[in-house]
Amino acid sequence: MASNYWSDTRAPRYSLIFAFPLLVAYEWLARVLAGEEGVRNGADVLLKSLFVLLGGRHGLTIFAAVLLGTGLVLIVLDWRKSGAPRGIYFAGMLGESVVYALLFGAVTSTLTGLLLRGAGALSIAGEPGLALPNQIMVSLGAGIYEELLFRVVLVSALAKLGTAGFHWRPWAAGMFATLGGAAIFSAFHYIGPLGDRLELGSFVFRMVAGMLLSGLFLLRGFGVTAWTHALYDVFLAVAGI
């Protein structure tokens, strides 16, 4: 049982089902809180805006159909191939995510300090100026939509560009995708009206965080990575009260 846990839980029938409650909670909170400040996660806005641009008034419907339809197909195919998921594995994935989220800030801060030659402990505060419910909503959205955009889509696309476009070896393409994706992920946090002021320390911190999340995605799959990211942001929001 234990020997199969690490490989099985990366598969769609575990990873995507495990991530689904994050999506539901985020979308529900975003709808409930829409009348207060109208804030949503930036990656969510970007992805949906692209579909609205291409699909017009049907863009959001198309987005939902693509997102949920693709996930459902992957789950069904994996379920038929490998059998029903085991409930105890989901408990293990949640435990993993909590542990990773608790350790994430300290590890990222330490690595950032080493890169900046002993700049000391660094961290990123929660969303400034937002009420706690809104911060929690944005945090859940970060777990789902930022991981979908920056890990599933961007890192995969950059790796494909490296192998198919530049004809690099897989390891070189992987390094390019990880570093490039992390840099874009970090830069994304300084764009828009709620973007932070650009500073070297916070940029490097977020770039290191992006590389760690990419590594976690490759090792543990989308579900655990999404929950780790979301819980880390939620813990920051609660700690900042």
Residue 163: the pLDDT is 93
Q: Rounded to two decimals, what is the model's pTM?
A: 0.90
- Cβ-based burial of 190 (10 A; exposed 0-12, middle 13-18, buried ≥19): middle
What's the pLDDT tens digit per position in 35-58?
555 678 889 988 999 999 998 989
Residue 131: the pLDDT is 86
Write out residues in the chain with pLDDT < 50, as ranges: 1, 120-121
Residue 125: the pLDDT is 55
CA 223 – CA 225 distance, rounded (Å): 5
- Joined tokens for residue 9: 């839980």
Residue 26: the pLDDT is 96
CB 206 within 8 A of CB 188: no
Residue 38: the pLDDT is 64
CA 91 – CA 139 distance, rounded (Å): 21
CA 148 – CA 131 distance, rounded (Å): 25
